[in-house]
Structure 1
Amino acid sequence: MNKLLITGAATAITLTGAAYAQSSVTLYGLIDAGLNYTSNEITATGGGGHSNWQMTSGAIQDSRWGLRGAEDLGAGLKAVFVLENGFELNNGQYTSSNRLFNRQAYVGVSSREYGALTLGRQTDGMVDFVGPLSLTGTEFGGTHFAHPFDIDNLNDSFQINNSVKYMSPDFAGLKLGALYGFSNQAGGFANNRAYSFGLSYIRGPWNFGFGYLQLSSSARTPAQLNANGAVTDTTAASLQNALLTSAVPIGVLADKQRTLGAGVNYSFGPAVAGFVYSQSKITQFFQTNLSVNFQNFEGNFRYALTPVVELSGAYTYSRAGGNGGGGIPHWNQVSAMADYRFSRRTDVYIQGAWQRVSPSGTSPLGVAWINGVSNPSSTTTQVQAAAGLRHRF
């Protein structure tokens, strides 16, 4: 009898070990820190511009750590999850004060044949399909390469809460995706909801991408914002500061924000050339008749000078128009970066950006403001430069 019990226990331990062998949890992360210089930063409302030397975190990519897991359920099906936190290396704080896993938090199932269905806080179609074709959405440009105010979210400034997301498998180079973010409000189904979709197609040296994102809300003031809805980040508040002189989240205090984008990359030898277009239409700020339309045109280039040295650069022309008065302001931005890899995980970089805005009439968008810089310029131009170190684990 004792022999039978011992044999049974040994079998159970063996089976348990086999089950655990089919599951995995991975700790991963990225640390990006360096020294940053910015010209012409204002010090207070109406104050003059001053140079600013800073130690910063995430000049290229936001510092983060996360957990990624999968369990094999058999028949090509897996349970998957991701929990990812963004933080500021220079002071150790979360990038979002009220969220532990502020970048991503989702769970779902994945199939080699049918794709993946996930639920939680996730990225949208602009980030997934157009961002990789723009230097701001990659390790070759990042934060300061973003289009003005990151209005198109290609730099992943905000994620979608309460979202259900589907990503297809690869169909001979074609991938599709769609997402819906619930408002989670009784009697307010469309009050701070989001939906998005996109696709990518890779064939030979060509890489194409398209994305669409729509946000909607019925809030008129920040106090009326549905704080449990799909978009609750305030990382794009700089645009609202410029337009309305009050820090409120972008898109969720308008009736609708419709953003679409498309891009293409072409690889030849050690080089990659690309073009990206995006458009964001924001209608009825505070449920008024104020509407704004942004357009961005980006040309970018990467070149592997040696196996360990990579050069990249981008030029972006942006313009804004609408019925708020003041004509059509437009931006010109030139950005460049040089990167040296010590290893697959560790590299050093230098990068910089120059931006000039040409305001028209009485437009409030009259000063330069490079994305990721603490304060806007006191003039129509601004320069930013950084040298830093990145490590991945």
Structure 2
Amino acid sequence: MKLGKTFIGALALAVGGPVFAQSSVTLYGLLDEGINYANNVQTAQAGAPHGRTGASQFSMTSGVMQASRWGLRGTEDLGGGYGAIFVIENGFDVGTGRIQQGGTFFGRQSYVGVTSPWGNITAGRQYDSIVDSIGPMQAGSFAGGAFADHPGDIDNVADTQRINNSVKYTSPTFGGVTLTGLYSFGGTPGSFGKNSIWSLGARYVLGPLALAGGYMHVNNPNQSFYGNNTNSSPTANNLGAVAGVQVNPIYGGFASAHRLQIYSGVAQYTIGSLTAGVGYSNIRFQELNDPASGTLSLTNPFGYTGNAAFNNYNVYAGYYITPALEAGLSYNYLRGGAINGKDSAAYQTINAVIDYFLSKRTDVYFAAAYMKASGVDSTRQAAVPYIVTMTPSNTSNQVVARVAIRHKF
């Protein structure tokens, strides 16, 4: 008798229990792999000037048009227009299988949040507001991916860096306007602002016209911004080597900045199969020689003090010759870095791409770029080209070309 009552009670609970909300989890990804040629890249050589020489190079690399990745994206309907969302996304090199983003497993994105009629709030490792607002409207999206990025991705428009420990708000679109704001907690005891980051962004779309702008304020960027990956160092220069074979000669010598500020804007117009745009960014490495940046002999080996600023200008266009064939072209001009009697440097880049879509998910492309550098870079040496994803040149000119395949799933 007791057993029967127990069974009937359990059945009643099962029938009258809550109805669970609908949810879904999607596995997605992208693989971009190809063969590159560069006419000159830095190569270590003992006894050579600056400890290096230059040579042409053929190589196989991953992620130029778009970075290779896989991820999981989930949603749950909470009712009343509310929902739960999450994204975890890993970046990897197709040719070697290695994890990207400095060894951080979910280094591209890792966040959880809530959607509502009033906007989305998310928390975790995320893109900043410049990336969210301007990223879809920058040259790399139309003219060859990383080869068309601003030199060294100096303004992070192409999302080279992510933001840890951040909370972000993204508004609904009202009258064509979408707003976003992010704050990253520095987590330093006794100092709310140290190592913190905040950014704001806005985009406006009216028919064929799109406008976007963004601002980012980074405290102690060598640690909070460039040094937030698994393999980063609390003492070294996280922008990369500035001696021997360099990693980022354009601004690697400014790692000791107390503050980094970036202002960026873009205007874009679409006419039929043609999309064209113009962009501008101002980048400021401020109050150099900050001891909190790390070991100053590494973060500031040239003894800089004061501020170093850059201005970046670019124009780009993408055109669908047929629904399956797209061509893109861009020009970029970056100038700045004068400080403490050191002259500025200038970098001019021309990039072109032809992209043929075999299907909605698979395409093959050919991209090529030419960069010319002049002046004196952040390492107090004659400026050399640095095209994103490539090793810097050892001369004032660099030509790169790539043929590749991209598949999305």
Instruction: Give the TM-score of the pair, scaled to structure 2.
Output: 0.85
> Which deviates the most, 231-240 or 295-304?
231-240
Task: Specify the code of the residue in structure 2 equivalent to 1:116.
Answer: N
Say whether residues 1:81 and 2:74 are aligned partners.
no
- 1:262 deviates by 0.3
Partner residue, 1:335: 351
Task: Specify the code of the residue in structure 2 equivalent to 1:261.
Answer: S
> Which deviates the most, 252-261 or 346-355?
252-261
Partner residue, 2:228: 232
- 1:308 deviates by 0.2
Question: Is contact 2:338-2:345 (8 Å) kept?
Answer: no
Closer/same/farther in 2, CA of residues 249 and 169 from structure 1, 3 Å limit: farther
CA separation in 1, counterparts of 2:72 and 2:36?
A: 30
Q: 1:212-231 residue pairs with structure 2 within 5 A?
A: 212-217=215-220, 225=223
- Secondary structure at the counterpart of residue 163 of structure 1: strand
CA separation in 2, counterparts of 1:242 and 1:290?
A: 22
Partner residue, 1:52: 57
Q: 1:82-161 residue pairs with structure 2 within 5 A?
A: 82-111=87-116, 113-136=117-140, 138=141, 140-161=143-164
Question: Is contact 1:257-1:282 (8 Å) kept?
Answer: yes
- 1:383 deviates by 0.8
- Secondary structure at the counterpart of residue 131 of structure 2: helix
Closer/same/farther in 2, CA of residues 146 and 37 from structure 1, 3 Å limit: same
> Which deviates the most, 250-259 or 172-181?
250-259
Deviations 1:258-312 (A, max 9, x none): 0010001100011001001011010122325242111110000010000000001
Closer/same/farther in 2, CA of residues 178 and 171 from structure 1, 3 Å limit: same
Say whether residues 1:295 and 2:291 are aligned partners.
no
Say whether residues 1:63 and 2:68 are aligned partners.
yes
Question: Is contact 1:69-1:80 (8 Å) kept?
Answer: yes
Closer/same/farther in 2, CA of residues 109 and 242 from structure 1, 3 Å limit: farther
Question: Is contact 1:348-1:390 (8 Å) kept?
Answer: yes
Which residues of structure 2 form unaligned runs of 5+? 45-49, 291-303
Question: Is contact 1:353-1:384 (8 Å) kept?
Answer: yes
Instruction: Give the TM-score of the pair, scaled to structure 1.
Output: 0.88
Q: How many residue pairs end up in the alignment?
A: 378
- 1:230 deviates by 8.9
Partner residue, 1:30: 30
Percent same amino acid among aligned pairs? 37
- 1:143 deviates by 1.4
CA separation in 2, counterparts of 1:328 and 1:249?
A: 14
CA separation in 2, counterparts of 1:149 and 1:230?
A: 13
CA separation in 2, counterparts of 1:239 and 1:134?
A: 25
Task: Specify the code of the residue in structure 2 equivalent to 1:118.
Answer: T
Partner residue, 1:19: 20
Partner residue, 1:369: 386
- RMSD between superposed Cα atoms in Å: 2.8
CA separation in 1, counterparts of 2:255 and 2:385?
A: 24
Closer/same/farther in 2, CA of residues 384 and 324 from structure 1, 3 Å limit: farther
CA separation in 1, counterparts of 2:271 and 2:14?
A: 58
Closer/same/farther in 2, CA of residues 252 and 168 from structure 1, 3 Å limit: farther
> Which deviates the most, 157-166 or 360-369?
360-369
CA separation in 2, counterparts of 1:58 and 1:300?
A: 21
- 1:365 deviates by 5.4
CA separation in 2, counterparts of 1:242 and 1:285?
A: 19
Q: 1:247-258 residue pairs with structure 2 within 5 A?
A: 253-258=256-261
Closer/same/farther in 2, CA of residues 209 and 177 from structure 1, 3 Å limit: same
Runs of 4+ with deviation above 6 angstroms:
245-252
CA separation in 2, counterparts of 1:128 and 1:154?
A: 9
Closer/same/farther in 2, CA of residues 378 and 35 from structure 1, 3 Å limit: same
CA separation in 2, counterparts of 1:365 and 1:173?
A: 46
Question: Is contact 1:350-1:385 (8 Å) kept?
Answer: yes
Deviations 1:294-331 (A, max 9, x none): 11100000100000000011000110143233322211
> Which deviates the most, 199-208 or 3-12?
3-12
- Secondary structure at the counterpart of residue 241 of structure 1: coil
- 1:88 deviates by 0.7
- Secondary structure at the counterpart of residue 242 of structure 2: helix
- Secondary structure at the counterpart of residue 135 of structure 2: helix
Deviations 1:35-86 (A, max 9, x none): 0111211111432211110111102111001111111111000011110110
